[in-house]
Structure 1
Amino acid sequence: MLSSQSPPPSINVPSLDISVVAPIYNEVESVGRLLEAIAAVMDETEWSYEIILVDDGSTDGTRDRLRELVQDYPQLKVIFLRRNYGQTPAMAAGFQEANAAVIVTLDGDLQNDPKDIPNLIAILDQGYDLVSGWRKNRQDDALTRLLPSKIANWLIGRVTSVNLHDYGCSLKAYRREIVEDLNLYGELHRFLPALAFIEGARIAEVPVNHHARQFGSSKYGLGRTFRVLMDLLTVFFLKKFLTRPMHVFGGLGILSMLSGVILGGYLTGLKLLTDANIGDRPLLTLAILLVIAGVQLFSFGLLGELMMRTYHESQHRPIYRIREILAQSPANLADNRGTVSTN
């Protein structure tokens, strides 16, 4: 799974093979069974591993249960967040603390099956950067969960050009270098394949098992739909215009200004040629608004360009990603440190 190629000294070499990350929120009945299932699967492999459970401000006794379990599982690391931030920040915290070359994520409610982890990693080893689970036989309510999910998956696929059957499945395997390139906000955890695709990741999807919820109640509701739609617009903008915001704002601004100038020219000609009264015409107001809106949009484009350059240059973050560099001399690789693939 790990490359035999030695990375340059500036790359942090992962100390483990697999990090299994699961956000937890009010799963006191499930968390013990979840740990038992993950450990049983991982102990049958030859991989070194850790299990990272991120408690997202649980209030039902989950925290006390996790303090007990950490004494029984030497591979377990528990992260307690100060309050309930949501699944995306919880996953980001787990990614930050992971120390392995491959990171596997799954839900903490026992609906994902840890037995699928070896299969995901086997597919990952075929040259992919991210393998996403597909709950082909999903055990959820058809009206409240399955239908909205199908619509969301279709819409996300259309907008992002990354066509997956199941964006909402938390069971995924990532190469570490892909996760390190991702910054998560809002509800962006469900768009991780699309965000990884923007970074040049090779993505695969594989059917996985799915079980009906045994304990507790679902943390998902229709109230999340609006937030997901807003984040989808964010992902669309990142995909299309992340490094060239002027292309969208500047283009719309120029179109708006030209439209306003044309209308203003028409009204001016009308006034000069026919001495018509144009002062009370709505068309004059529209022309003025179009010019003002065009100037504002063009200014947004300029500000966006400045912010983009500040974002990339202040962090020394390149606007490209190199998958691999081939050279006869190891010294040549060292000169390009930080860009060598660990595949």
Structure 2
Amino acid sequence: MVKEAYRPGISVVMPAYNEKDNIERAVESALKVLKDASDDFEIVVVDDASTDGTGAMLDRMAASIPALKVVHHDRNRKFGKTIRDGFAVASKELVFITDSDNPIDMEDMKKAIPLMKEYDFVSGSRLTREPSVKRIVYTAIYNFMIRTVFRLNVRDVNFSYKMVKRELLRKLDLRSEGSFIDAEMLLEAKRRGARIKEIDIMYYPRALGESTLASPSIIAKILYEMSKYMLRRLFQFGRSGPV
């Protein structure tokens, strides 16, 4: 008997802010891979009030791509809220989260799919590093803090390669408005007893447009949200025991 291939339903969720130079390639790459890997798929792009025409470009693309769903913010809501709004729309069995500046070869998404038969959450770890020394240092310190403070056995918390079962995703208490959302997803999954697998994935630095993830304001926001998360969990632990 021929073993039937595992072709689950997949939602790809991408946040987008001022990505007019990248978004078309990102959507087309995702579409190509999804057609090969799944019979039931969608691409959810959340435009976080872009000012460069990204939103209009997405609307034009959606007119000819039935699988593309576009969500528009009327004002800039930041990364975490953008991701959470994408999750609210995602409807398939598996949800894959990546950025719209093409940080990965979308073919590598296929590496996570067979693992989802055994795991609840697959997270990528960069094989190559940031070209910026400052970002390398920031990333190393942040990963060390998350591993140490929360005892999370993940090497690369913020890499934009994550696949999670939608059934699990719906149970996660996600509140982050900013870039702490990546860590919050992993921590909440761990809290729920999820089976988490980390795999090595090639990373491709942004070729076009600007990144703000290493800006002091973003870093301050991450630290603030991390502190809030710690206090929230400590408060809940004190009231009701481990949660």
Q: What SS does the corresponding residue of 2:49 show, helix, strand or coil? A: coil
Q: Is the 8 A contact 2:77 2:177 kept in 1?
A: no
Q: Name the count of aligned residue pairs.
A: 232
User: Counterpart amino acid of 2:238?
Assistant: R
Q: What SS does the corresponding residue of 2:169 show, helix, strand or coil? A: helix
- Structure 1 partner of 2:209: 216
1:46 offset after TM fit, Å?
A: 3.6
For residues 240 and 213 of structure 1, what CA distance do their matches in structure 2 show?
Answer: 38
| Cα displacement string for residues 91-143 of structure 1 (whole angstroms, at most 9, x for unaligned residues) | 11010011111100000111132111111122222x211111111212431x2
Matched, 1:193 2:186: yes
- Structure 2 partner of 1:17: 9
TM-score with structure 1 length normalisation?
Answer: 0.64
- Structure 2 partner of 1:173: 163
Q: Is the 8 A contact 2:79 2:177 kept in 1?
A: no
For residues 20 and 52 of structure 1, what CA distance do their matches in structure 2 show?
Answer: 6
* Structure-to-structure mapping, 1:58-207, within 5 angstroms: 58-125=50-117, 127-141=118-132, 143-182=133-172, 183-187=174-178, 188-191=180-183, 192-207=185-200
Q: Is the 8 A contact 1:195 1:235 kept in 2?
A: no
Q: What SS does the corresponding residue of 1:82 show, helix, strand or coil? A: coil
Q: Is the 8 A contact 2:122 2:196 kept in 1?
A: yes
Q: What SS does the corresponding residue of 2:238 show, helix, strand or coil? A: coil
Give the structure with the larger helix fraction.
Answer: 1
- Structure 2 partner of 1:28: 20
- Structure 2 partner of 1:227: 221
1:190 offset after TM fit, Å?
A: 2.0
For residues 93 and 80 of structure 1, what CA distance do their matches in structure 2 show?
Answer: 10
Q: Is the 8 A contact 2:212 2:218 kept in 1?
A: no
User: Counterpart amino acid of 1:219?
Assistant: T
User: Counterpart amino acid of 2:164?
Assistant: Y
For residues 242 and 178 of structure 1, what CA distance do their matches in structure 2 show?
Answer: 21
Give the structure with the larger strand fraction.
Answer: 2
User: Counterpart amino acid of 1:204?
Assistant: K
For residues 64 and 87 of structure 2, what CA distance do their matches in structure 1 show?
Answer: 23
Q: Is the 8 A contact 1:18 1:50 kept in 2?
A: yes
Q: Is the 8 A contact 1:159 1:236 kept in 2?
A: no
- Structure 1 partner of 2:236: 242
Q: Is the 8 A contact 1:22 1:53 kept in 2?
A: yes
| Cα displacement string for residues 246-275 of structure 1 (whole angstroms, at most 9, x for unaligned residues) | 88xxxxxxxxxxxxxxxxxxxxxxxxxxxx
Which stretches in structure 1 are left out of the alignment for 5+ residues? 1-15, 248-318, 321-343
Cα 1:74–1:219 change in 2 (3 A) is same
For residues 171 and 149 of structure 1, what CA distance do their matches in structure 2 show?
Answer: 15
For residues 28 and 201 of structure 1, what CA distance do their matches in structure 2 show?
Answer: 36
For residues 86 and 37 of structure 2, what CA distance do their matches in structure 1 show?
Answer: 22
1:47 offset after TM fit, Å?
A: 3.4
For residues 53 and 105 of structure 1, what CA distance do their matches in structure 2 show?
Answer: 10
For residues 207 and 118 of structure 1, what CA distance do their matches in structure 2 show?
Answer: 13
User: Counterpart amino acid of 2:225?
Assistant: D
TM-score with structure 2 length normalisation?
Answer: 0.89
For residues 202 and 140 of structure 1, what CA distance do their matches in structure 2 show?
Answer: 32
1:19 offset after TM fit, Å?
A: 0.4
Question: Where does structure 1 differ by over 3 angstroms across 4 or more consecutive aligned residues?
Answer: 237-241
| Cα displacement string for residues 209-235 of structure 1 (whole angstroms, at most 9, x for unaligned residues) | 211212111121122222211222233
- Structure 2 partner of 1:268: none
1:243 offset after TM fit, Å?
A: 4.1
Which structure has the higher relative contact order (CA within 8 Å, separation 6+)?
A: 2
Q: Percent identity?
A: 28
Q: Is the 8 A contact 1:198 1:239 kept in 2?
A: no
Cα 1:225–1:139 change in 2 (3 A) is closer
The structure with more radius of gyration? 1
